[in-house]
Amino acid sequence: MDKKIPLHIQKAIKILQKGEITEYYVYNKIAKRVKNQQNQDILKRIASQEKSHHDIWAAYLDKPARPNRLVIFFFNLLSLIFGYTFALKIMEKGEAKAQSNYEMIGEYVEEANKIALEEDEHEHELIAMLDEERLNYVGSMVLGLNDALVELSGTLAGLTFALANTALISLSGLITGIAASLSMAASEYLSAKAENKPNALKSALYTGVAYIFTVALLVLPYLLIENHFLALGVMLGTVVLIIFLFNFYISVAKDLPFRKRFLQMAIISLSVAGISFLIGILIKSLLGVDV
């Protein structure tokens, strides 16, 4: 070391050093699974940058750091489930919290400012260059998810009062939902074909899978809970949770605003469910049906 580094600064450097070597392994592990050569090269380039940062810190501390295996496992698993773009951007947000440490360390380590600049700009630019296939079909997923949430939550809410029987409600919901998912997937395929879009079949599959997945989650409370009003409450809670998780995923992966999109989808879905519930009461009263 060129000059004595205080103990508290050394501790801050050790934390950053451990983070750098951990992220080096995360990027390399993900890169090995990526088939797209351009994306693989970008990930390896970022990994190399992380390793060089670790080595700079190691030169000041005279000791290399050990990676956090649990963090490596977590982000590797996250990338498998939600895609590597989402996982890396979540990890990147964690890095942003450490930016204030660079200014403090910069008083004692010249390279700290350079590392901070690379962390803040270069990696962001490189991650923005990633071209993950599933993110190209976000529009199709939104179509399937949004339609299923609005249509099926409304249908189930109306059936809850009209039928007042969880077995009948779940049966009706499944039949309606599966038929609607097939119809929506077919419509997406024909629409994509008419516009001469490539991969029309994949667009249809993403739409259909998003729809059927939502159907399964919304009908599940009626299969598990006997009280139809309690099942309705759980179903509506599931609607809000799905909207929250999906919009959080999109806001992170695509760098889009979260709050406005979440509130918009939640208000529309819950409003339709409320109106449908009232329609169920009205129809049952007018027809005098008692199931």
Q: Are residues 265 and 170 in the same domain?
A: yes
Among residues 82, 102, 131, which one ends one of the domains?
131
pTM as predicted: 0.72
Q: Are residues 108 and 188 in the same domain?
A: no
Q: Are residues 126 and 142 in the same domain?
A: no
**The domain containing residue 150 runs over which residues?**
134-287
Residue 2 lies in a domain: no
CATH number for 58: 1.20.1260
Could you write out the DSSP letters of every residue in the chain? --SPPPHHHHHHHHHHHHHHHHHHHHHHHHHHH---HHHHHHHHHHHHHHHHHHHHHHHHHTSPPPP-HHHHHHHHHHHHHH-HHHHHHHHHHHHHTTHHHHHHHHTT-THHHHHHHIIIIIHHHHHHT---GGGGGHHHHHHHHHHHHHHHHHHHHHHHHHH--HHHHHHHHHHHHHHHHHHHHHHHHHHHHHTT-TTHHHHHHHHHHHHHHHHHHHHHHHHH-S-HHHHHHHHHHHHHHHHHHHHHHHHHHTT--SHHHHHHHHHHHHHHHHHHHHHHHHHHHHHT---
Q: Are residues 29 and 78 in the same domain?
A: yes
Q: Are residues 103 and 173 in the same domain?
A: no
With beta carbons less than 8 A apart as the criterion, state whether 12 and 61 touch. no
Residue 32 lies in a domain: yes
Residue 110 lies in a domain: yes
Q: Are residues 95 and 188 in the same domain?
A: no
Residue 1 lies in a domain: no
**pLDDT (0 to 100) of residue 161:** 77
Q: Are residues 53 and 81 in the same domain?
A: yes
**pLDDT (0 to 100) of residue 2:** 47
List the chain pLDDT tens, one digit each, 291 residues: 445 778 888 888 898 899 899 999 999 999 998 888 888 888 888 899 899 999 998 888 888 899 999 999 999 999 888 888 888 888 877 665 566 677 778 778 878 877 877 776 666 666 666 667 777 777 777 777 877 888 888 888 888 877 888 899 999 989 988 988 888 888 888 888 887 777 888 888 888 888 898 899 999 999 999 898 899 899 989 989 988 988 888 888 777 888 888 888 888 888 877 887 777 677 767 766 554
Report how many domains make up the chain: 2
Q: Are residues 154 and 251 in the same domain?
A: yes
Among residues 98, 131, 164, which one ends one of the domains?
131
Q: Are residues 69 and 213 in the same domain?
A: no
**pLDDT (0 to 100) of residue 74:** 94
Residue 11 lies in a domain: yes
Q: Are residues 145 and 242 in the same domain?
A: yes
Among residues 106, 131, 156, which one ends one of the domains?
131
Q: Are residues 215 and 237 in the same domain?
A: yes
Q: What is the CA radius of gyration of the chain?
A: 25
